[in-house]
A and B are shown apart, each in its own frame.
Chain A
Amino acid sequence: MLTNTLNGLVYGSLLFVLSSGLVLVYGLRRVVNFSHGALYMLGAYIGYSIALRYGFTAGVLAGGLALGLVGIILDLVVFRNLSDRNPLVTVIVTFGVFLVLEDIVKSVWGTQNYTLDPPAALSGVVEIGGNPFPAYRLFIIGASFIMAMILAIWLKFGRTGLFVRAASFDPSVAAMCGVRTDLLGPAVVGLGAAFAGFSGIIAAPFLSLHPAMGSEILVLSFIVSVIGGLGSFGGAFLSAMLLGQIQAFGTVYMPELAALLPYLLMSLILVWRPQGLSGRAA
């Protein structure tokens, strides 16, 4: 029972870190980045290759930082230039980016599955409530928690965080108040992408690497966002945790239906409350 809850926390925290990247970009650019899942996947694969040669820590750093760079480029090239068009245009373009990135992954790494072993320091087992629990999974929870904290503190107390919140409310007014919105864009999108990359490489020893992982996780992060309410971190947190628990308990008690549960939950929430748990009403 406790093991399941903990497993749920693992899924949930990964989902949250990934989805917060989506929320960040949506908050600032009013666009849902359909390539977000591919960023996650790319981070995992890059981190994997680096980790094989230079160790796990290097892999994590590489995964996150490389994707941060990709995010910055994405903002400078795509989001900024299309910001005056219908947001759906940008969304479709990011879908194109997704296809390109997926092709890159398949070309460079091939279509077979890869597994990455957790680093020696974290590959042990910990006794929790009388049951063994992989230490690495605790690391996932911890690392995600730290990233979430950093994000929360930055947004709430940091000056740049304040600017981000202001700009997401009203970009033109924020600009008039001296917020450097042109620097903010790449910074925020870069951070969102870095988060995707980090969650990808951190998740790698837990889930394996395969070319479909991008699309699978993308749909899940969409479900998290839709349930939580687009643009809401709190909502994303709640729904990520909820989905994590459902995933964990579902695979144990209802293995056939488990894969469908997120969709069912999403449908129920939408019928009841279309703006999501914490979203603003239409």
Chain B
Amino acid sequence: MGGQLRMSRSIRQSTRFPIGEIVGVIAVGLSGLLFAQLDMPLLQSLMAQALILSFLAFGIGYLIRMTGWVSFGHAGPFGLGAYGVALAFSGPGPAPEVMLLLIIPGVTLLYFLVGLVVSRLEGIGFAMLTLALGQGLFVAATKFRAVTGGSDGIAVSLPRRLFGLTTDLLQQPHGMLVFALSFLLIVYVFLRLFERSHLGRLTVAIRENEERARFLGYRTRALRAAVYGISCGIASIGGVLFGLYQGFVSPDVLTWGMSGSGLIMAILGGSSFLWGPIVGAIVFFFTREWLTENTDHWLAILGIALIVIMVLWPKGLSGGVERLLARLRTGSGPVPVELRRKAA
């Protein structure tokens, strides 16, 4: 009778305990807290906005990393999060806290269902479809004035208290900075845990050879749809924070310029590391702030930057870091490369 692969247990030991990453997460969290104590409201506000946008990039980048799919319409879930917040506080109906808690799972579920339908398309068809869906939401937001206020948008009337706590910190730079950063780190940790779980590894395997995964007994479409749903849920968190911080939501949040910017941030950051898109978003945001002050040809520069990055450094910033780390490792590693090569 078959025996157990004893080594399979030893695998869990050989996956290194990520000391470096844990230290990194704690370090980032602490520096954020420290930064928030300083008296630099302008810089803090910019950073808060950058972090909010990074959720958009994070969602896009996560999808690319896990499935290889590219979404050109991620402003959709982002915008849904923002409008969700606005409507939670303005419309009649259940308490704002209840509505708030429902937005992100709601968006995730919605896009999971979309993903089930859409996962039958190949990569390019998927990309086109996401663009069209994103644009559809934009058109809907402009048309349904009664609900969304049309092109004029809606104000977000933040209640004084939420979940028993005062909310004025949410609209202050240092407050939102800490809030956004905390959420970002929490999401990051969760996604990392998922990646290292069986389901996470299965998702990556599906990316490599979906057919064989199916013939090994796995329902691949549902998993891909789930990852798509999660990536949209991540974007919607950013949308919620956006609505809370800006205090105002308009269809600008759903334009394909927004989707395009998110894509550029994700590509700039690269998906070699999970945190790549976040760094890309921050770099992009500050570069854009600087550029829009100095030139009108913001769009052309963006386009050229995108072209150059895709051609020369498709793996983005995190790819560069990956290469650097690899070089450092082989440079100082004890085992010479030749010995590791097997005789064919």
Contact = CB atoms under 8 A, between A and B. Distances in A.
Say whether A associates with B: yes
B132 A222 contact: yes
Interface of B: 68, 70, 72, 117-118, 120-125, 127-129, 131-133, 135-136, 139-140, 143, 256, 260, 263, 267, 296-300, 302-307, 310-311, 314
A104 B307 contact: no
B-side binding surface: helix, strand, loop or mixed?
A: helix
A175 B256 CA distance: 39
Contact of B299 (A100, A222, A223, A225): A100
Contacts of B299: 99-100, 102-103, 106
Given A260-B143, A263-B139, 5 more contacts: A26-B124, A99-B260, A219-B132, A259-B143, A274-B121
8 contacts: A32-B124, A82-B311, A91-B127, A92-B70, A95-B260, A99-B300, A107-B297, A222-B131
A107 B296 contact: yes
A263 B114 CA distance: 13
A87 interface: yes
A10 B70 CA distance: 34
A99 B302 CA distance: 7
A281 to B, nearest CB: 9
A201 interface: no
Contacts of B263: 92, 95
**Would you list the 10 A-B pairs with minimal beta carbon distance, nearest first?**
A99-B303, A96-B306, A263-B136, A103-B300, A100-B303, A103-B299, A96-B307, A274-B120, A96-B303, A219-B135
A69 to B, nearest CB: 19
Interface in A246-282: 256-257, 259-260, 263, 266-267, 270-271, 274-275, 282
A97 B303 contact: yes
A96 B140 contact: no
A106 to B, nearest CB: 7
Contact of B256 (A100, A215, A223): A215
A230 B132 contact: no
Contacts of B135: 215, 219, 263
Contacts of A230: 124-125, 128
A31 B123 CA distance: 11
A102 B306 CA distance: 14
Contacts of A225: 128
Contact of A88 (B124, B296, B307): B124
B311 A91 contact: no
A226 interface: yes
A225 B297 CA distance: 32
Nearest to A221: B128
A93 interface: yes
A213 to B, nearest CB: 14
A136 interface: no
Interface string A106-122: 11000000000000000
B268 to A, nearest CB: 12
